[in-house]
Amino acid sequence: MSELDRHDTIRAVHWRGDRLSLLDQRRLPFEETFIDCRSAAEVAQAIKDLVVRGAPAIGIAAAWGVVLAAQNDPLALDQATRTLRASRPTAVNLMWALDRMQGIGSDAAALVREAQAIQDEDLAANRRMGELGAALLDGGGVLTHCNTGSLATAGFGTALGVIRSGYAAGKISQVYAGETRPWLQGARLTMYELVRDAIPAKLIADSAAAHLMRSGAVQWVIVGADRIAANGDTANKIGTYQLAIAARHHGLKFMVVAPSSTVDMATVDGSAIDIELRDPQELLGIGGRRTVVDGAQAWNPVFDVTPASLIDAIVTERGVIHHPDRHAMQALFAPGHG
Ligand code: MRU
C-alpha cells in the first residue's frame, strides 16, 4: 500500500448493477450502514436528507439515479431527471452531472458508462488537485471546514485530498477541523476520516477559529466549494466566509479546492448563487434533542459566499488560479476550454 493509499481508505458511493448503495452519512461516525436506492426518486430523497452530501458526491449519486430511471422506466427519464435536479439547489455539480447524463440519451448501457466516467474522473481530479494544492504548502498547521473528503466525493476528497497529500508529503504537521454546526460535518465526518486514515487532527468549535489563527498554529485555511461563479466568488458551507475574513485579518492564506465540475461560468458572481435554506429544526437541537426553548425561531442558511478577493488560490484539476478574478477564471474555464 502506498503512503497515500494508507491515508485514503473510505468510499461512500457504490454502484451495484441494479441499485445504488450509499453510506448513510446521517449515522456516522458511530454506525457504518449503507442504504440501497432502487429508483431515481429514492436517490433524490437520499440527497435531500443528506444520506449522501458534498457537491461532487451529490452529482455522482444523481448520475446513478438517472441510470436507475433508465433501467426502470425509460419513458419517465425526463421526469426523473427533473426530480433529481430539484433535490438541492446550491451545489452545481448536481446540475452539471445531470446535464452530462441528458446529453447521452436513454440507452441504459451508455448511461452506465457515463455515470462511471463521472465517478472515475472525480477521483482522478481529486488526486491531481491533491498534488497541486500540496505544492502550495510549506509546512505547519491547516484549518478546514465542513467535510470535503472521501465521503463528499468519489474518494480522496478536494480540500481533504490536499490535506491527505500534504500530510503524506510531510508538508502538514497538524490539521484543525471546525465542527460545522448545525449538521456537524466537521465533527462527525471529517474527524472520522482523519482519525481513520491516521492524520493528526484536532476538532475546534467553529467559534474558536479566529483565536486559533491568532495563535500562529495554522498557516492555511483549506476548504472546498459547492459552486464557483465566473468571477471566482465561491459558495461553500456556512461559516466559510467568516473564516476567509479572519484569515485575511491574520495574514493567513486561504485556499479553495474544487474540480472543474464545481465551476459555473454561467453564474456571473456570488450574488446570483441560490443559497439553500434548510429546516430551522436543524438548528433548534443537537442529535435530535431540542436545545432551544419552545417557541424560538431560527434562520438556517447552509451555505455562504466568500468573495474572490478573499481567496488566495483556487485549486482545480486544470490548474491553480492565484488571486482569482473574472479574467483568470475566463483563462482556465472559458467555454470550449479543457
Ligand atoms: O451540506 P453539505 O454537507 O452537502 O455541504 C458540503 C460542503 O459545503 C462542502 O464543503 C462542499 O460540498 C465541497 S465537498 C468536496
**Percent of the chain scored above 90 by pLDDT?**
94
Q: Does pLDDT of 272 surpass 90? A: yes
**For residue 278, how far is its CA from the centre of ligand 1 (angstroms)?**
14
Q: Which three cell numbers stand for residue 48?
A: 435531500
Neighbours of 165 (CB within 10 A): 28
CA distance 320 to 221: 16
Q: Which atom of ligand 1 is nearest to the CA of 25?
A: 3
- Band of residue 7 on the pLDDT scale cut at 50, 70, 90: low
Per-residue pLDDT, averaged over 39-58, amounts to 98
**For residue 225, how far is its CA from the centre of ligand 1 (angstroms)?**
7
CA distance 85 to 94: 7
Neighbours of 336 (CB within 10 A): 4
Ligand 1 close to Cβ of residue 55 (< 6 A): yes
pLDDT score for 95: 98
pLDDT score for 10: 84
Give the contacts of 51 (CB within 8 A, at least 6 positions apart). 22, 24, 25, 26, 35
Ligand 1 close to Cβ of residue 148 (< 6 A): yes
CA distance 182 to 139: 31
The domain limits of the chain are: 3-124, 127-333
Report residue 180 CA to chain centroid gap.
Answer: 13
- Band of residue 288 on the pLDDT scale cut at 50, 70, 90: confident
CA distance 219 to 228: 23
CATH label, 3-124, candidates 1.20.120.420, 3.40.50.1220, 3.40.50.2300, 1.10.3720.10: 1.20.120.420
Q: Does pLDDT of 338 surpass 60? A: no
CA distance 36 to 42: 9
Return phi, psi of residue 78, to 5°.
-65, -45
Domains 3-124 and 127-333 share a fold: no
Residue closest by Cα to atom 6 of ligand 1: 54
Per-residue pLDDT, averaged over 232-256, amounts to 98
Strands annotated E in the chain: 13-15, 20-23, 34-37, 141-144, 174-178, 201-204, 220-223, 227-229, 234-237, 253-257, 263-264, 285-286, 289-290, 303-306, 313-316, 319-322
pLDDT score for 19: 98
Query: Active-site residues: which are they?
Result: 226
Q: Which three cell numbers stand for residue 253?
A: 492564506
Return phi, psi of residue 254, to 5°.
-125, 120
**For residue 8, how far is its CA from the centre of ligand 1 (angstroms)?**
18
What does pLDDT average to over the chain?
96
Which residue out of 25, 52, 53, 94 has the highest number of ligand 1 atoms within 8 Å of its CB and is therefore the one to mutate?
Answer: 53
Q: Which atom of ligand 1 is nearest to the CA of 303?
A: 8
pLDDT score for 37: 98
Give the contacts of 10 (CB within 8 A, at least 6 positions apart). 149, 150, 151, 155, 193, 196, 197
Ligand 1 close to Cβ of residue 302 (< 6 A): yes
Q: Does pLDDT of 205 surpass 80? A: yes
Ligand 1 close to Cβ of residue 226 (< 6 A): yes
**Domain 127-333 falls under CATH 3.90.1150.10:** no
